[in-house]
């Protein structure tokens, strides 16, 4: 995967290159030395580089910028903004947690990490969560957000329970021990969104395709064999993942969490 890194000297590019090597990220980074990361300039750089994703640092955050339908979309992880959702009062309203019913010390795999939002909510229960991400740019953003948030004293315990792994969860889960819960939030099938899609999802959709039916079946079979409980997030109007009927579903008007128990194969 190609990516343009705009080096505005807010961060040590050597460290990023070391991470690309260390984690064997399939990422080819073209570095552009610049101090100008204005929207106008980002649009220009993008146009010169076949709409490749652009990365740069701004105020200690990794920003991912892309031009989609002629509009510049900028996104970052901003886990700090999840503060309300991960303290005890906020957690009571999380449909995800109602479906997962986690308790402290449980071990969880989030096999489709994305921006790490659901993973963080899962870890807020006291469970240990491994976040697996196959997209090298998203992995880098997750890695840096964890690094950044680990420096905040009141986030340290939560960050200590999170492990971020690069790769395809099908392979990683297949080679792992059994876990209490595996959570999947695969890219939604085209046309299954109800209403507007947020910026993060627009960017993900322009970089990652939804799984085809073979991929779905493979991932479902791998995951169900390696956990006591599998929870899969779906848009409310989407068909069942891998055509498998869940044991239970928790839904609101937009999404549902389908729950599969170990013997549902």
DSSP type of residue 198: P
Shortest gap between Cβ of 2 and ligand SAM (angstroms)? Answer: 16
Give DSSP secondary structure letters for 204-245: HHHH-PPP-HHHHHHHHHHHHTTEEEEEEEEETTSPPGGGPP
Closer to ligand SAM by Cβ: residue 16 or 122: 122
Stretch that binds ligand SAM, among 79-87, 146-154, 181-189, 252-260 (CB under 6 A): 181-189
Contact 5, 13 (CB under 8 A): yes
d(CA 147, CA 162): 11
Shortest distance, position 41 Cβ to ligand SAM, whole Å: 27
Strands 255-261, 227-235: pairing is antiparallel
Does the footprint of ligand SAM cover residue 114 (CB under 6 A)?
yes
**Pairing state between β 28-33 and 128-133:** unpaired
**Residue 68, both tokens:** 């989609």
134 binds ligand SAM (CB under 6 A): yes
Among 45, 118, 149, 179, binds ligand SAM (CB under 6 A): 118
Please tell me whether residue 115 binds ligand SAM under the rule CB under 6 A. Answer: yes
* Alpha carbon distance, N-terminus to C-terminus of the chain: 35
Residue 186 binds to ligand SAM (criterion: CB under 6 A)? yes
Residues 209-228 that bind ligand SAM (CB under 6 A): 219
> Total number of residues binding ligand SAM (CB under 6 A)?
21
Residues that bind ligand SAM (CB under 6 A): 111-112, 114-118, 132-135, 138, 168-170, 185-187, 204, 208, 219
């Amino acid at each position: 995967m190609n990516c343009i890194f705009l080096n505005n000297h807010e961060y040590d590019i050597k460290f990023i290159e070391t991470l690309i090597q260390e984690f064997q990220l399939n990422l080819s980074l073209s570095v552009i030395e610049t101090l100008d990361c204005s929207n106008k300039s980002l649009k220009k750089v993008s146009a010169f580089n076949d709409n490749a994703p652009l990365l740069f640092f701004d105020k200690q955050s990794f920003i991912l910028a892309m031009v989609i339908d002629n509009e510049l979309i900028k996104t970052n992880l901003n886990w700090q903004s999840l503060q309300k959702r991960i303290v005890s009062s906020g957690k009571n309203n999380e449909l995800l947690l109602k479906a997962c019913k986690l308790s402290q010390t449980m071990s969880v795999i989030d096999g489709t990490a994305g921006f790490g939002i659901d993973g963080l909510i899962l870890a807020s229960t006291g469970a240990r969560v491994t976040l697996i991400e196959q997209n090298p740019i998203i992995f880098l953003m997750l890695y840096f957000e964890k690094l950044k948030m680990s420096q905040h004293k009141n986030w340290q315990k939560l960050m200590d329970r999170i492990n971020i792994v690069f790769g395809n969860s099908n392979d990683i889960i297949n080679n792992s021990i059994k876990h209490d819960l595996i959570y999947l939030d695969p890219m939604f099938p085209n046309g299954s969104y109800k209403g507007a899609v947020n910026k993060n999802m627009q960017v993900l959709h322009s970089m990652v395709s939804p799984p085809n039916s073979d991929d779905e079946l493979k991932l479902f079979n791998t995951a169900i064999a390696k956990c006591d409980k599998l929870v899969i997030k779906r848009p409310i109007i989407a068909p069942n993942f891998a055509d498998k009927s869940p044991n239970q579903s928790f839904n609101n008007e937009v999404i549902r969490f389908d729950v599969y128990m170990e013997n549902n194969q």
